[in-house]
Structure 1
């Protein structure tokens, strides 16, 4: 699989290249919007990771041009934390997903895997296991067809676990995903446990652990029924 990563921070580009090549992806990089378009038109890729804030041509303009040119490959936009308008514009222009900076590398890898799964035949925005469904586009969760009301942090935890389905997720990775740089492992060490307990109760998993399973000393995992 070939990925194009577009960002004007050389250090970040180098880190992401190493991470994705370590997962056996083929990686191309670009430091600005014009270089990104040149590479996209010269050498097609399977997925694009595209920062919004770019020199010469911003990420939203790049996205608009490649969609007009008929390039339908999945695009994951990188946005500044809290920039809701950029997220909305990106999705309206045809982005498939977005991730706010600063982000967890584990989460980025998980979202890329999910996008590849969708483009390979799972084109909708729904993640799920058993009779539990989470729609990443509408932000709705259902269990057995009935709506489940989650807090924003409960939704983020469930979404992250489903993105990483069949992979163990550490408590620290979950905390980093939900609270970002604000997470203090000393004063907030039990926050994840409390949220997992409440989440299990809301999805009918309390006392059973058949959906969100605990891996002692590591964290949590959601597995397919067949595993």
Structure 2
């Protein structure tokens, strides 16, 4: 009985610690939101066509307009557009001042250590979704998502990627060209059009099959779309 009681107390203490950690992370994100947004203004507005938006969301976040910031989706896993925006906004290169900056440094360290199980970042995604509209989240994501390195320059956003990789504005990209850009998002330096064109072509073909409905993700975490292999 003593061992059972000790185990119960340990479990209760652990649960209390986790809840406290999540509460502090949420409170910090809520109070830091305005300052973080001020430090990271968008330098470019990316306009997606209705078709482009549908392609992007089908691959990156199928339940984007339905979830509160977090979701587990078929072929998506736990990564949402909201969580990606929250990570870059709260834990990106821009540094907050004072106490907010101290907490930011702490959460950056936690994320660097334990990103796969970082519940604090998940709370930040919930806060972001409560403070920022879906339209604004999508605009920020499409303007800031990392798209690899090209000719020694780090590319951010789909518009910059289209100009660099396709040599044309994003609005002029064909469906096939846009699918290739979306295919890069998962690992842009691996699925690089000049350094690893075969891998990019394979992933783009799998996404094309997914969009046509001829295959489906094999579970929540099948971001490789194994069932769509040609």
Determine which structure has greater relative contact order: mean sequence separation of CA pairs < 8 Å that are 6+ residues apart, divided by chain length.
2
From the CA coordinates, give the structure whose radius of gyration is larger. 2
What's the TM-score, normalizing by structure 2?
A: 0.28
Higher strand proportion (structure 1 or 2): 1
What's the TM-score, normalizing by structure 1?
A: 0.28
